[in-house]
Amino acid sequence: MARQTRAWQRMLSGRRLDLLDPTPVDIEIEDIAHGLAFVARWNGQTEGDFPYSVAEHSLLVEALFSRMYPGASPAQQLTALLHDAPEYVIGDMISPVKAAVGPEYKELDKRLEAAIHIRFGLPAITPPALKKRIKKADMVSAFMEATQIAGFRVEEARRFFGRPAPEHMEGLDIHLRPPVEVRRAFTARHQELLEQLP
């Protein structure tokens, strides 16, 4: 009899998260914040003394989203904050790697996202219009990251990420912080938004 491959990961909270069949009861915000604070974007190819983490990126995307769509509800803002949350267990793959891996990565991401959303009172599947708005904020974030810390020239970044409106980025700069600080900031923002949900 063939031995079954282990498909769960033990979290620091003590939860065992089944990656193939994740359930909302095994999702804890502390695990998400910790994991995302230690996952580097841009495959770690960024300037500075600390990696630019997915947690830091998520905070920036949520700030941009809230600025770009001032009428957004707390639930929509929370969805923006959690837009990359599955990466706390599956990591952040740059787009070329995702394309090479194929649809299996996307399916895994979707299952984890649904469990995370249900855990925090959000719809399992993000409505397409909201997903599109979050993606616009994500592209502005990518432009900022590319030009501020990832070595892209402005013209080059515009080709890949578009030409963001200057007012969306005004006053928002990327400052790299130790993972423990980013983890605290992510958890605090998550709590603020949870408390505003109806």
How many helices (DSSP H) and strands (DSSP E) are in the chain?
10, 2
Four-residue CA torsion sign, 51, 54, 56, 57: positive
Q: What is the predicted pLDDT for the residue at 54?
A: 97
Domains of the chain: 25-196 (1.10.3210.10)
pLDDT tens figures, 163-182? 999 999 999 999 899 999 99
Q: What is the predicted pLDDT for the residue at 1?
A: 56
Q: What is the predicted pLDDT for the residue at 97?
A: 76
- Backbone φ/ψ region at 151: left (φ over 0), alpha (ψ -120 to 50), beta: left
Q: What is the predicted pLDDT for the residue at 4?
A: 63
pLDDT tens figures, 50-103? 999 999 999 999 999 999 999 999 999 999 999 999 999 988 877 777 777 778
Other residues' Cβ atoms within 10 Å of the Cβ of residue 112: 20
How is residue 171 annotated by DSSP?
A: T
Specify the amino acid at residue 93: M
CA angle in degrees (0–180, nearest 5) for 66-70-76: 55
pLDDT tens figures, 4-13? 677 889 999 9
- Backbone φ/ψ region at 165: left (φ over 0), alpha (ψ -120 to 50), beta: beta
pLDDT tens figures, 25-50? 999 999 999 999 999 999 999 999 99
Q: What is the predicted pLDDT for the residue at 3?
A: 58
CA pair distance 148, 142, nearest whole angstrom: 10
User: If you average pLDDT over every residue of the chain, what do you get?
Assistant: 94
